[in-house]
Amino acid sequence: MARNLLELVNISKSFGEDLVLDDLNLEIREQEFLTLLGPSGCGKTTTLRIIGGFEVPDTGKVIFEGRDITQVPANRRNLNTVFQNYALFEHMNVEENIAFGLRISNKSDAYIRDKIRYALKLVNLEGFEKRKPRSLSGGQRQRIAIARAIVNEPRLLLLDEPLGALDLKLRQDMQYELIRLKEELGITFVYVTHDQDEALTMSDKIVVMNQGYIQQMGTPEDIYNEPENAFVADFIGDSNILDGIMIEDRLVEILGHRFECVDEGFWNHVPVDVVIRPEDVVIKEPGQGMIDGLVTSLLFRGVHYEMDVMAGGYEWLVHSTVGVAEGTKVSISVIPFNIQIMHKPESEDEMAVAAEDL
């Protein structure tokens, strides 16, 4: 099993009276692609900047390769950062941009030439050595920024929403390029994004953040299929989030109807949050499901149809490979395994912390 490369221990950070991170703890393993995911202001970029040495935490430690580097400046850490705006030197050509860090380290000309050639091959930009950044596309500029980072052979590569300025097709292409680079180079990646699809596509592990707290950590499959609270369920993909009453083990009441589920260990008759993904809602003929309803809208999304179904006084979001026309009477059903039951937070603080067992 891979060992921990970096640990954040009891990290807190405030800007004035604004508490951005509150007692955050995080372990990052060698050769892991870890994504910090969350809405604007959740603390993910501040976390990245603390790792990179661009911010110093108010409390806590940054442990890198077993050494406390909390007070070590950014230029003395064995890691590199790729920013959203690329931060290329416009007056330098491509090879000069890539060589910048190597020249500061007093590497030989022969070594630098070999590294430039190697890096350009890795990012599929051979032959671009003499081009100026302004002549490159957004995707090409991003690849140069990545090439400049990887020639320094960092143990850890930090990426702060690096694909945010690209159009959809370029962003998807670069996602696959980053996955490929991670596999080829064996570098540990820490990636910041607010894009859920990006996180699910690229990550070995996702850390979902909100209000300075970690809400949940896990594989993309765990985060999507087993969200630990309503915030995670709502933030990662589309969800139907309903109020429910846990009648007893494996039985929940939703909208006045009782549904079998697989969850156990709740108090009887306790209020709960119920999460049902739209692809897990099954459309049936009227009277054949659990709740009868009416299709109120139908959209074709390419890989599936998206429908709204008013049933039980709630507008259900439904994804299906088969579309049902607006105005059609239907019934909806959900198998027990696809019903996720979660405790309701009892306070605003608990709502923010939410995942206490991490």
pLDDT in tens for each of the 358 residues of the chain? 679 999 999 999 999 999 999 999 999 999 999 999 999 999 999 999 999 999 999 999 999 999 999 999 998 999 999 887 777 889 999 999 999 989 988 899 999 999 999 999 888 889 999 999 999 988 888 889 889 988 888 999 999 988 876 778 878 888 888 898 888 888 999 999 999 999 999 999 999 999 999 999 999 999 999 999 999 999 998 999 999 999 999 999 999 999 999 999 999 999 999 999 999 999 999 999 999 999 999 999 999 999 999 999 999 999 999 999 999 999 999 999 999 999 988 644 445 544 433 3
Beta bridge partners of 274: 242, 341
pLDDT tens digit sequence for 213-238: 999 999 999 999 999 999 999 999 89
Residue 161 and residue 19 share a domain = yes
Asked whether residue 119 is domain-assigned, the answer is yes
State the CATH number of the domain containing residue 100. 3.40.50.300
Residue 176 and residue 38 share a domain = yes
pLDDT of residue 290: 95
Asked whether residue 234 is domain-assigned, the answer is no
Taking a C-beta distance cutoff of 8 angstroms, is the pair 193, 306 a contact? no
Beta bridge partners of 340: 275
pLDDT of residue 153: 86
Beta bridge partners of 311: 293, 314
Q: Count of residues for the chain? A: 358
> What span, in angstroms and rounded, lies between the C-alpha atoms of 25 and 355?
12
> What span, in angstroms and rounded, lies between the C-alpha atoms of 52 and 79?
7
Enumerate long-range contacts of 18-24, CB under 8 Å, 24 or more apart: 19/212, 20/46, 20/212, 21/46, 21/47, 21/50, 21/57, 21/212, 22/212, 22/213, 23/59, 23/60, 24/60, 24/212, 24/213, 24/214
Taking a C-beta distance cutoff of 8 angstroms, is the pair 33, 179 a contact? yes
> What span, in angstroms and rounded, lies between the C-alpha atoms of 204 and 141?
26
Asked whether residue 231 is domain-assigned, the answer is no
Asked whether residue 355 is domain-assigned, the answer is no
Residue 256 and residue 156 share a domain = no
Residue 264 and residue 169 share a domain = no
Residue 209 and residue 96 share a domain = yes
pLDDT of residue 1: 63
> What span, in angstroms and rounded, lies between the C-alpha atoms of 207 and 218?
7
pLDDT of residue 333: 97
Asked whether residue 208 is domain-assigned, the answer is yes
Taking a C-beta distance cutoff of 8 angstroms, is the pair 139, 174 a contact? yes
Residue 160 and residue 39 share a domain = yes
Beta bridge partners of 258: 253
Taking a C-beta distance cutoff of 8 angstroms, is the pair 290, 259 a contact? yes
State the CATH number of the domain containing residue 292. 2.40.50.140
- Joined together, the tokens standing for residue 336 give 């027990």
Determine the structural domain holding residue 151 and report its residue range.
Answer: 4-225
- Joined together, the tokens standing for residue 202 give 């690229």
Residue 150 and residue 11 share a domain = yes
Residue 294 and residue 272 share a domain = yes
Domain-ending residue, one of 225, 251, 269: 225
Asked whether residue 357 is domain-assigned, the answer is no
- Joined together, the tokens standing for residue 34 give 């870890």
Domain-ending residue, one of 197, 225, 253: 225
Asked whether residue 156 is domain-assigned, the answer is yes
> What span, in angstroms and rounded, lies between the C-alpha atoms of 302 and 295?
19
Residue 247 and residue 215 share a domain = no
Residue 73 and residue 208 share a domain = yes
Residue 314 and residue 269 share a domain = yes
pLDDT of residue 352: 52
Structural domain total, the chain: 2
Asked whether residue 86 is domain-assigned, the answer is yes
Residue 255 and residue 188 share a domain = no
Residue 52: which region, alpha, beta or left (left: phi > 0; alpha: psi -120 to 50)?
Answer: alpha
pLDDT of residue 213: 95
Domain-ending residue, one of 157, 191, 225: 225
* Secondary structure class of 296 (helix, strand, coil): strand
